[in-house]
Amino acid sequence: MATLGMNDLRAGLGVNIKGRDCVVLEAQHVKPGKGNTYVRTKYRDIRTGRVLEENFQQSAKFESVDMRTREMQYLYNDGDIYYFMDNETYEQVEVQADVIGDNAKWFKENDTCLLQYANGVLYAVQPPMFIEVEIIETEPGFKGDTVQGGGKPATIETGAVVQVPMYLNVGETVKIDTRDGKFVGRV
């Protein structure tokens, strides 16, 4: 593993901070008028999921963490365990629900997801950036109801509730951005 300095810190980098494997979320280099340069960082502890903020001086040194991402197909879940398959080796991986967290509401069978590892330990599962899903429950809309900025809640086939335009009905397929849960368009 390589040793990194303060100037190497950047978003997405895996580093060991105080004996904990972490992923850097933000790194802002600060040059005050007086005093030494430092880096204001926000990072996530991979094991606990906690987000921490800390400033590091120029002399700070860090060990890099081996970060890898594997593309896998989501198969199904049976409560607390989610099953994924590597499309090249057909190896199946079981993932506990607590690793997936809130992202579970965006998983649709057969979608390709990204499994993220740090030093060989799975720490996160990312759904596809956009999903195409059917609306399974919402209040009925009617033709001509195109109120600007208006919306209504709709339950999609993954179980998530999203805001959609007033004119959409049950059975229609929509595209959703999983990063923020926003309606993108009709399919």
* Domains of the chain, start order: 3-64 (2.30.30.30), 67-126 (2.40.50.140), 130-186 (2.40.50.140)
Report yes or no: 183 and 130 within 8 Å, Cβ to Cβ: no
Residue type, 126: Q
The whole-number average pLDDT for the span 22-35 is: 88
Burial class (CB in 10 A: 0-12, 13-18, 19+), 172: middle
Report yes or no: 52 and 67 within 8 Å, Cβ to Cβ: no
Note the pLDDT tens digit of each residue in 121-137.
888 899 999 999 999 99
Which residue has better confidence, 98 or 175?
Answer: 175
Cβ partners under 8 Å of residue 78, min gap 6: none
Note the pLDDT tens digit of each residue in 66-99.
889 999 999 999 989 999 999 899 999 999 998 8
% pLDDT > 70, the chain: 95
Tokens of 132: 């195409």
Give CA–CA dist 69/113, Å, rounded: 10
Q: Is the pLDDT at 147 greater than 60, yes or no? A: no
Q: Is the pLDDT at 143 greater than 60, yes or no? A: no
Report yes or no: 47 and 56 within 8 Å, Cβ to Cβ: no
